[in-house]
Amino acid sequence: MNLTAALSKIKDAGRVAVLTGAGISAESGVPTFRGTGGYWKNYKAEELATPEAFQANPELVWEWYSMRREICGKAEPNAGHKVIAELESYCKEFLLITQNVDGLHRRAGSKRMKEIHGCIDEARCTFCNQVFSLPPLDRTPKLPTCPDCGSLARPHIVWFGESYFPGMLEDCHEFTKFADLIFIVGTSGMISAPMNIALAAIRRGAYSIEINPERSTITPNVSLYIQESAGKALTEIWKHLN
Ligand code: OAD
Ligand code: ZN
């Protein structure tokens, strides 16, 4: 791993953004969406994480989320999450933008962050839109309901074909458009909105470092592509920064 160029850029950067995807949690044992572990009962995420799937079969969609909640709850943040949490105090200005709903960044200590796709431990009422934390898994009913009005609740997650939460992408762009450096870690880049945040920063001149053992849609655009697992690459970078 030739990190010389990257290290001086990181040391000089005033404003640093990090965009993460499912790959950062792979080493914690949380399956990615588009890899080999990406299927459940022969369904792909694209067939379950939609308003149409929920309308047709809310039990099935909740069952899938409960299975994933169980995996996320048992998983522990890994070295990659921890380095990103440390970077937050190392950098003058910092924002983590994650596509992950697993909560592992938060549990690793990240605070300046946007969970742009929501959080697996939260639900939202389909009638009054109240957002609430789900009880522990063993006390979560098969079909969770709203604590206020008793209507059916759904996962508080941005599904395929849905808009992002109001202001979310704007807040991210506001920060990243003047970023000096952006890390793009563990994402295949198949979802355009988060990729556009990174691309806009790159076009404005941000130095960009991608970490992913496999090439992604953004690889041709980055300043430095580190073909490595997130845990290993971030640990190496952090070691050299200190
Ligand atoms: P994907 O499953 O599409 O991509 C995971 C990426 O992680 C791939 O590019 C892998 O090569 C990479 N990867 C695997 N192991 C890694 C490791 N140890 N270190 C670094 N990278 C590794 O997941 P996302 O790009 O996050 O949406 O998918 C984006 C969105 O699509 C998700 O947020 C989800 C999904 O549908 C929602 O849940 C709303
Ligand atoms: Zn309600």
- Which ligand lies nearest to the CA atom of residue 230 in the structure? 1
Task: Tell the residue nearest (CA) to atom 32 of ligand 1.
Answer: 99
156 noted as active-site residue: no
Residue 184: per-residue pLDDT: 98
**Contact yes or no for 232/82 (Cβ under 8 A):** no
Tens of pLDDT, residue by residue over 33-47, are 886 666 788 888 889
Mapping DSSP onto H, E and C, the string for the chain reads CCCHHHHHHHHHCCEEEEEECCHHHHCCCCCCCCCCCCEECCEEHHHHCCHHHHHHCHHHHHHHHHHHHHHHHHCCCCHHHHHHHHHHHHCCEEEEEECCCCCHHHHHCCCCEEECCEEEEEEEECCCCCEEECCCHHHCCCCCECCCCCCEEEEEECCCCCCCCCCHHHHHHHHHCCCCEEEEECCCCCCHHHHHHHHHHHHCCCEEEEECCCCCCCHHHCCEEECCCHHHHHHHHHHHHC
Tens of pLDDT, residue by residue over 143-181, are 999 999 999 999 999 999 999 999 999 999 999 999 999
Average pLDDT over residues 42-58: 93
Does the pLDDT at position 226 exceed 70? yes
- Furthest-apart CA pair in the chain: how many Å? 57
Task: Tell the residue nearest (CA) to atom 15 of ligand 1.
Answer: 23
Average pLDDT over residues 41-57: 92
Work out the pLDDT band at 70, boundaries 50, 70, 90.
Answer: very high
Percent of the chain scoring above 70 in pLDDT: 98
Give the list of residues 6+ apart from residue 108 with CB closer than 8 angstroms, or none.
77, 81, 82, 84, 85
- Which ligand lies nearest to the CA atom of residue 132 in the structure? 2
Ligand 1, closest atom to CA 211?
20
Task: Tell the residue nearest (CA) to atom 13 of ligand 1.
Answer: 23
Given the residues 117, 156, 173, 240, select the one marked as catalytic. Answer: 117
User: Which residues have C-beta atoms less than 6 Å from ligand 1?
Assistant: 21-23, 26-27, 32-35, 45, 49, 99, 101, 117, 157-158, 186-188, 190-191, 211-214, 216, 229-230
Distance 152 CA to ligand 1 centre (A): 30
Give the list of residues 6+ apart from residue 31 with CB closer than 8 angstroms, or none.
22, 37, 38, 71
Ligand 1, closest atom to CA 38?
2
Q: How far is CA 178 from CA 40, 91, 197, 220, in A?
A: 40, 14, 11, 21
